[in-house]
Chain A
Amino acid sequence: MFLINCPYCGERDQAEFSCGGEAHIARPKNPPELSDDQWAEYLFLRKNEKGVHYERWNHEYGCRQWFNLARNTATDEILTVYKMGEAPPKLKANIPATPSGEPSIGSGNLSTSKKDRF
């Protein structure tokens, strides 16, 4: 659970929002020419990134506006908020880097930003 900074309403509880999944998946311009594999790619295949994930959110129980988030799925840290139609910003996320790629306690249970560390 985290706070999301809605570009229209400001910071609100994540329970007010619903996630619309991976962002920037464009509907194919030439549907009749697509092969079955290309349809599968568009409909089903997802990056499912561990790291920076660009995704769509809807402020469902608020202003009901859609917008984009870049979130580090390894820590749930929100990196930036940007509006629909805008190009995804180029970002690098801090992936927890112990020998097994995880923080020492649990998995992804710590933030990688210095200010949140204890």
Chain B
Amino acid sequence: MFNKNKYSFLSIAKNALSHHENWQKTWKSPEPKKNYDAIIVGGGGHGLTTAYYLAKNHGINNIAVIEKGWIGGGNTGRNTTIIRSNYLWDQSAALYEHALKLWEGMSQELNYNVMFSQRGVLNVAHNLHDVRELKRRWHANRLNDIDCEWLDTKKVKEFCPIINTSPNIRYPVLGATLQRRAGTARHDAVAWGYARGADEMGVDIIQNCEVTGINVKNGNVTGIETTKGTINSNKIGIAAAGHTSVIANMAGIKLPLESKPLQALVSEPVKPVIDTVVMSNTIHAYVSQSDKGELVIGAGTDGYTSYTQRGGFNIVEDTLMAIVELFPIFSRMKMLRHWGGIVDICPDASPIISKTHINGLYFNCGWGTGGFKATPGSGWVFAHTIANDQAHELNAPFTINRFSSGELVDEHGAAAVAH
């Protein structure tokens, strides 16, 4: 089907004639209407994919995505872009693997290059316990039909030649698991691509509009109050990441979440030096290289509740000490930029994708430090939950009720990185 907005070689050639000054807007940014069939609060990756799949898979097109800032300005643009599905527990593995499969076809489906690069992710073992845990996870992954292999020290060195495999460092490299289908993607392109896709199907993307209240009548949700007025809908999905508790509070709901700063930093750009993603749980460091040449480095969370999008210098220092021991070649690199994002962490480090006791009010939260990789899968199952008022089989284990029933999906540590 011919679509005049499709990005292609021809459209580049055509726009070159007008000095690239006449490209169409990627999305419309309209004023909000009074009524919608569904409202998604939060215009990050998870909210946009939810709107996209509601329109595409469930035929609900009259949707508003409400974003208090701008598209791609929250955690979608703040993460370290790592995508993988090598989780230990069956429930998580199924959810993240579903997401990984969607990543594999994303650029084609959206007609938007998200620069998905399956460069492999190494999870490094530094002591006997790590070796046992990572081998256990390797076998669990294989049983779940997820590609994973074990590399001994020599093979790790072959796969990533700049890594320090000296047996004399404090935490020597004793081996690693490798998921070859894992990798990275351009994070804000994901938000832009899904925003464009949703917009094309009639979704209203409303930026600079903050939710100030949730209207509930007789146990049914009826709409939201915003800085742009009241907007009515009897289906409201919340995908507000670090600020989920703030929104939940408006509806009188208390959630098992704590919001904490998570920091990341990038170095000055250099020529290609590392062509994979290296993650270490024990010494808490992860590093990859962006297409611009910057090292992208992820640190751990700060140990206290905060909404400030910045964290402690000691956390950055700890991470860089680990990176420098593992990669002495980086010891004289200068760090260029550093930032924090607010992540909402569940006690079991697994997400909540769930209905609530208020009819028509749904929550997609608790992704903590690892939500980016799940972006398309999260939207897929959340859209299903909203459209059918019932969990998809993939998110059935991730309801709020698990905190009462005790059926936790404990991914602290099991997910291959400490949260």
Contacts and interface: CB of A to CB of B under 8 A. Distances in A.
Given A1-B313, A1-B314, A18 B303 contact: yes
B246 interface: yes
B58 interface: no
Given A44-B256, A50-B243, A55 B304 contact: yes
A13 B317 CA distance: 14
B404 interface: yes
B308 A74 contact: yes
Given A19-B304, A40-B404, A55-B305, A14 B259 contact: no
A73 B308 contact: yes
Contact of A101 (B68, B305, B312, B347): B68
Which of B245, B257, B304, B311 has the most chain A CB atoms closer than 10 A to its own CB?
A: B304
Given A37-B404, A50-B246, A100-B210, A108 B309 contact: yes
A25 B226 CA distance: 33
8 contacts: A1-B313, A21-B258, A41-B254, A44-B256, A44-B403, A45-B254, A46-B245, A47-B254
A15 interface: yes
A6 B179 CA distance: 46
A33 interface: no
B172 interface: no
Which of B69, B246, B312, B404 has the most chain A CB atoms closer than 10 A to its own CB?
A: B404
A73 B303 CA distance: 13
Interface string B300-331: 00011111111111100000000000000000
- The size class of the interface chain B forms with chain A is 20 to 34
Contact of B208 (A40, A100, A109): A100
B227 interface: yes
A41 B254 CA distance: 9
B399 to A, nearest CB: 12
Interface in A1-49: 1, 13-15, 18-19, 21-22, 36-37, 39-41, 43-49
Contacts of B255: 45-46, 48
Which of B208, B303, B308 has the most chain A CB atoms closer than 10 A to its own CB?
A: B308
Interface string A72-92: 011110000000000000000
A48 B342 CA distance: 12
A73 B208 CA distance: 22
Interface residue SS majority, chain A: loop
A111 to B, nearest CB: 10
Given A40-B404, A48-B259, A101 B313 contact: no
A107 B305 contact: no
Given A1-B313, A108-B306, 8 more contacts: A45-B256, A46-B255, A46-B258, A50-B246, A73-B259, A73-B305, A99-B227, A100-B227
A1 B311 contact: yes
B256 A40 contact: yes
Nearest to B212: A101
Contacts of A46: 245, 254-258
Contacts of B256: 40, 44-46
